[in-house]
């Protein structure tokens, strides 16, 4: 019994070693033939053998999932990004309202006065007023147009 078990084990191991080379050729009828021994009377090609995939398909790397701390950090970061975006939007809206008020003031008041560097009140000339109107309109179009 022990001899039979040893013989069966050797047969199993040697079968794998013998099946490592396969050959392909075409017979007289044009049919492809395969075998472990190449034919002597015709051309043949050696066939590359691939090992069978493991049961259940190809081996894959396990999916790397972020741990709970990393997910929490990502949520906090995205909340912080949203807050910053909301603050930028609010600031832009406020600046646009100020530009609109400035334009309305420039359009409604042809005789504007301002304080110069010496602290004296000075009347704004029409050419300066028109330049400021054009600049304010340009800023509104550039930064506040949605």
Query: What SS3 string covers 82-137?
Result: HHHHHHHHHHHHHHHHHHHHHHHHHHHCCCCEEECCCCCEEECCHHHHHHHHHHHH
Residue 96 belongs to some domain of the structure: yes
Mean pLDDT of 108-126: 86
Residue 70 belongs to some domain of the structure: no
Residue 145 belongs to some domain of the structure: yes
Q: Is the pTM of this model over 0.85?
A: no
Please give the tally of structural domains in the chain. Answer: 2
Residue 144 belongs to some domain of the structure: yes
Shared domain for 96 and 146, answered yes or no, is yes
Model confidence pLDDT, tens digit, residues 58-100: 666 676 666 777 777 888 888 888 899 999 999 999 999 999 9
Domain that holds residue 44: 20-49
Residue 78 belongs to some domain of the structure: no
């Amino acid at each position: 019994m022990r001899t039979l078990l040893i013989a069966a084990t050797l047969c199993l191991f040697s079968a794998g070693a013998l099946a490592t080379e396969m050959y392909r050729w075409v017979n007289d009828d044009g049919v492809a033939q395969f075998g472990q021994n190449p034919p002597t009377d015709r051309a043949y090609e050696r066939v590359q053998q691939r090992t069978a995939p493991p049961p259940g398909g190809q081996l894959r790397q396990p999916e790397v999932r972020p741990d709970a701390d990393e997910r929490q950090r990502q949520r906090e970061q995205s909340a912080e990004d949203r807050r910053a975006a909301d603050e930028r939007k609010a600031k832009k809206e406020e600046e646009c309202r100020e530009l609109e008020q400035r334009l309305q003031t420039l359009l409604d008041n042809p005789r504007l006065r301002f304080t110069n560097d010496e602290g004296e009140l000075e009347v704004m000339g029409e050419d300066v007023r028109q330049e400021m109107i054009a600049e304010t309109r340009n800023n509104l179009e550039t930064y506040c147009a949605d």
